[in-house]
Amino acid sequence: MTDAHSTLAFWVTAPGRGQLRAEVLPQPLAGEAVVAALFSGVSRGTEALVFRGRVPASEFRRMRCPFQSGDFPAPVKYGYASVGKVVAGPPELMDRVVFCLHPHQQQYVVPCEALYAVPPSVPAERAILAANLETALNGIWDAGIVPGDRVSVIGAGSVGCLVAWLTRHIVGCEVQLIDVNPRRAAVAQALGTSFALPAEARDDAEVVVHASGSAEGLALALRVAAYEATVLELSWYGDRPIPLALGEAFHSRRLTLKSSQVGAVAQPRRVRWTSRRRLELALSLLDDPALDVLINSEGSFEELPDTLARLAESPGDVIMHRVRYV
């Protein structure tokens, strides 16, 4: 157990290796607060790439997360889904449950403006989904999904499931969640969407959102897209090259392949929306117990080095892993 002036943080010490390291906890200055972590979430796709040292050198600067320490590939302290309680700081924040885009760490000191109050109706255990829901929300804005669209979502990880869940609330939208894992059918049912294995996927989607992180998933996205459809790419592949058959029907069907990344607010909303407003909306939308189905793995903070090594090597059926601090 650390003393009152130190804390433990998770570091990727070398590609494929992690460690809990002691750090000095600075005294908070005016306008800062001390947060004691309750839970954090492992954003498995991105964090597995970071853990394996697969961030391309061209993205070292752009891939930095808030409050990251160290540099890619390692040693680096990385993560962005922490939920905790304010234990020191301004009176109006004391004892508040907050979300912060902070790496996995027992306690940390951050500026107050980096904290987001978790609505009372949202359990702290579920609030770890906020960062991924923000990504899904931004993706929907980038894709331009409107009422009545037929939407296929490929990849039933946390982001793909959240895109499907959000889209099914848009009036008139028909949403199909597609994944190679047949056990994801029960997840789709809990979220209120239909499900298909790749061989059963319909081929008339006006918008396809790809979030599987695989070349096969992206190829499927092009196959199931309807004439003049938009294929939105939400996966991030790190330094892995992805082949794409653009010599087939891509041109004759006049498809649009578009990228989305949460680092900037989607262009259609950028004039009126800030990143803060977007994340606050994501937190408010977590007021739905159906989303608990996405957090299907949990372990202690002390186990995190072994847990991340396992998730990076063979994630199995895990959608979102929750790290427990107390």
The total number of structural domains in the chain stands at: 2
pLDDT score of 4: 56
Q: What is the mean pLDDT of residues 178-199?
A: 98
The model's confidence at residue 3, banded by pLDDT at 50, 70 and 90, is very low
Given a contact cutoff of 8 angstroms between Cβ atoms, the answer to whether 151 and 205 are in contact is yes
Residues 242, 140 share a domain: yes
Closest to 52 in 3D by CA, of 82, 66, 81, 72: 72
Query: What phi and psi, each to the nearest 5 degrees, are found at residue 224?
Result: -90, -5
Is 283 a domain residue? no
Chain segment 4-52, per-residue pLDDT in tens: 589 999 999 999 999 999 999 999 999 999 999 999 999 888 999 999 9
Residues 265, 143 share a domain: yes
Residues 305, 197 share a domain: no
Structure tokens at 254: 């006049």
Range of the domain at 161: 132-269
Residue 2, pLDDT > 80, answer no
Is 1 a domain residue? no
Residue 1, pLDDT > 60, answer no
Residues 144, 85 share a domain: no
**What does the alpha-carbon distance between residue 156 and residue 164 come to, in Å, rounded to a whole number?**
9
Given a contact cutoff of 8 angstroms between Cβ atoms, the answer to whether 135 and 275 are in contact is no
Residues 164, 98 share a domain: no
Residues 167, 151 share a domain: yes
Sheet holding 69-70, edge to edge: 17-24, 6-14, 76-77, 69-70
pLDDT score of 5: 82
Is 31 a domain residue? yes
Residues 103, 30 share a domain: yes
Residues 230, 152 share a domain: yes
Is 280 a domain residue? no
Mean pLDDT (the chain, rounded): 96
Q: What is the mean pLDDT of residues 184-198?
A: 98
Domain at 100, CATH number: 3.90.180.10
Chain segment 282-322, per-residue pLDDT in tens: 999 999 999 999 999 999 999 999 999 999 998 889 999 99
Is 207 a domain residue? yes
Chain segment 85-126, per-residue pLDDT in tens: 999 999 999 999 999 999 999 999 999 999 999 999 999 999
Given a contact cutoff of 8 angstroms between Cβ atoms, the answer to whether 98 and 86 are in contact is yes
Residues 258, 171 share a domain: yes
**What does the alpha-carbon distance between residue 39 and residue 99 come to, in Å, rounded to a whole number?**
10
Is 276 a domain residue? no
The model's confidence at residue 190, banded by pLDDT at 50, 70 and 90, is very high
Residues 169, 59 share a domain: no
Domain at 191, CATH number: 3.40.50.720
Residues 156, 250 share a domain: yes
pLDDT more than 90, % of the chain:
92
Is 59 a domain residue? yes
Chain segment 230-268, per-residue pLDDT in tens: 999 999 898 889 999 898 889 999 999 999 999 999 998
Is 175 a domain residue? yes
Chain segment 194-211, per-residue pLDDT in tens: 999 999 999 999 999 999
Residues 299, 247 share a domain: no
